[in-house]
Structure formats: structure tokens, C-alpha cells
Amino acid sequence: MGDIKLNSSEWNILNCLWEKDPCPLLQLVGEMERTVGWARSTTITILGRMEAKGLVGRRQMGREKVYVPLVEREDAATTETRSFLKRVYQGSVELMMSAMVRSDGLSREQIAQLRAILDEAEQEKEP
């Protein structure tokens, strides 16, 4: 599907669908009302737009409409991360990591996880 650009409303819906796939319309409406305060009509309008964009699918199960995500969480997150990195850090992973470490600090566990990720990336690059 190429780069997936989502607005905050689309993220709200997809986060719910990624957790509850497939999700009946009534459950999705209730979840959006509870988490972001949307009226039923707002959720339905946004779902219609997302369906037209190919982000969600809808099917009928008996008398109930059920929605499913048509994009993978990892694909959407990757696109969002690239966009954030370009906008905020001019594409510099080093600058981003430096800012993260200096502002919040990292736990030993987080450092170990990052090291493991970097080690894996390095192994993949070796001939």
C-alpha cells in the first residue's frame, strides 16, 4: 500500500481495530465514545472515509456490520516514524537518540534492547 499517512482520528480507529479484529460497529462506536468522546455519527463518518481510502474493510455478519483493518500496524508505524524523523530531526537518527537519552535517560533494560536491535541490524548488513 505504499506510505500510509494517517491523521489522529484514523490512528484512534485503527488502534482499536488492531486490538479487536474484527470489531462490530457497535463495539467500535462504544470504544470511540469512551476513549475520545466521539458521538456515534462521528465514528461512522470517519469509518466511511477510511473505507473509501482503503484503510478499513467492512463486512456484514448476520445483522451486524463488522470492521477490519486493511493496513498493518507495523507499516503505519514505520511511515509515521520516518515522517517524524524527517520533520523533527532532519532525518538524523543520531540526533533523535541523543535527545531521547539526554531528556529521559534510559533504563538498563532499554539500553540492552537497543543494543540487541543494533546488533541484529549489523548482522543483517554483513556480507
At 66-100, the pLDDT tens digits run 999 999 999 999 988 888 899 999 988 889 888 88
Q: Which residues have C-beta within 8 Å of that of residue 106, sequence separation ≥ 6?
A: 100, 114
Which pLDDT band holds residue 111 (cuts at 50, 70, 90)? Answer: confident
Domain 1-91 in CATH 1.10.10.10? The answer is yes
Higher pLDDT, 92 or 30: 30
**How many angstroms separate the CA atoms of 63 and 50, rounded?**
22
Higher pLDDT, 22 or 101: 22
Whether the per-residue pLDDT at 3 is higher than 80: the answer is no
Which pLDDT band holds residue 104 (cuts at 50, 70, 90)? Answer: confident
> What nine digits make up the cell of 29?
462506536
> What's the pTM?
0.78
